[in-house]
Amino acid sequence: MIEKVNPSHPDKVADRIAGAIVDLAYTKEENPKVAVEVLIGHGDCNVIIESSVNFDYSEIQPIVYRIAGAGIDTKLNCLPQDEHLAENQSKEIRCGDNGIFKGVPLTDNEKEISELARDIYDKYNSDGKYILTDNKVIICQSNADNLTLKAFGIAFRPEVIVNPLGEWTGGIDVDTGATNRKLGSDMAQSVTGGGLHGKDLSKADVSVNIYAFLKAQKTGEVVELCCAIGDDTIDGKPYSEIVEIARKYIQDVGGFEKFAEWGLF
């Protein structure tokens, strides 16, 4: 049993905005330190940034407008990174936070729900959420024809439930979105003590999660790791190597904003 949401779900809108701000940070420094939280809904967007680089409101508002729509009242609170955390990274790339991480091989159901979500999103580019179990599929898709949606679902399961409350518009005027609130959708059965989005690569919540997930897919076995701030080795590898593995993954998917659209699968 697995749930997947699409990139127009309010929580993913928040993740995408945070990811776009991290992308912007990497245009300012080679290895910036940045953590972004976004809360959006009903015409308002609150953005809090802790970072080693400076951001101006004139840079952030266009990101919000591009991803969430024009006219949203955007509030920005940009603060310097904590001096102790900054000192931890001053001489070399070392683990930037404490955490636990579990990478788990994807199941057939998880691969199928990811395929279904993408297929529907290709046709209906608006807020949607989908659940797949061994015997049924639940499709909640805004601004869509229910008969067409049922046909999508039948390709995956004979029992299909479409928009149980009736046709709906979805989006940030119906619900609020917050960064890292849909980790189950992003990680399947993989587990983290933190969040994937809105953070630079020095953060274990990003790099170690990506590394553990990729290793689990390659080996077909569960991968369990933990780390502490300042660690320079994880899983027998230099932390800097873990970061480079994650950097390549982010580059391959097109950046932090693109990573935020669907997560790890």
CATH number reported for the structural domain that contains residue 19 in this entry: 3.30.300.10
d(CA 76, CA 118): 32
For the chain, how big is the Rg over CA atoms in Å? 19
Q: What percent of the chain stands above pLDDT 90?
A: 92
Range of the domain at 224: 99-106+180-254
How far, in Å, CA of 58 to CA of 39, rounded? 19
Residue 257: per-residue pLDDT: 99
pLDDT tens string 168-204: 999 999 999 999 999 999 999 999 999 999 999 999 9
Question: Residue range 199-220: average pLDDT?
Answer: 97
Read off the pLDDT band of 86 (50, 70, 90).
confident
User: 78 and 140 share a domain?
Assistant: no
- What confidence score (pLDDT) does residue 163 get? 96
The pTM assigned to this predicted structure is 0.97
Do 18 and 84 belong together in one domain? yes
Is residue 97 predicted with pLDDT exceeding 90? no
Residues 202 and 234 in one domain: yes
Q: How many residues does the chain have?
A: 265
Would residue 147 count as lying in a domain? yes
Among 41, 57, 88, the domain boundary falls at 88
Helix, strand, coil distribution of the chain in percent, nearest 5: 40, 25, 35
Reading the block at residue 175, the tokens are 């619900």
Which residues are within 8 A (CB) of 99 and not within 5 positions of it... i.e. 6 or more apart? 192, 193, 194, 204, 205, 208, 226, 227
pLDDT of residue 67: 98
- Shared domain for 158 and 186, answered yes or no, is no
Tally of domains in the chain = 3
Which pLDDT does position 84 carry in this prediction? 80
Q: Could you read off the pLDDT of 9-39 as tens digits, one per residue?
A: 999 999 999 999 999 999 999 999 999 999 9
Q: Is 172 helix (H, G, I), strand (E, B) or coil?
A: coil
The pLDDT, as a whole number, for residue 129 is 97
Over residues 42-50, the mean pLDDT reads 98
218 & 150 share domain: no
Residues 31 and 84 in one domain: yes
Q: Residue 207 falls within a domain, yes or no?
A: yes
Quote the pLDDT of residue 90: 74
pLDDT digit string, tens, across residues 130-183: 999 999 999 999 999 999 999 999 999 999 999 998 989 999 999 999 999 999
Distances in whole angstroms, Cα of residue 50 to Cα of each of 32, 80, 223, 252: 11, 5, 30, 26
Mean pLDDT of all residues in the chain? 96
Q: Is residue 228 part of a domain?
A: yes
Domain assignment present for residue 52? The answer is yes
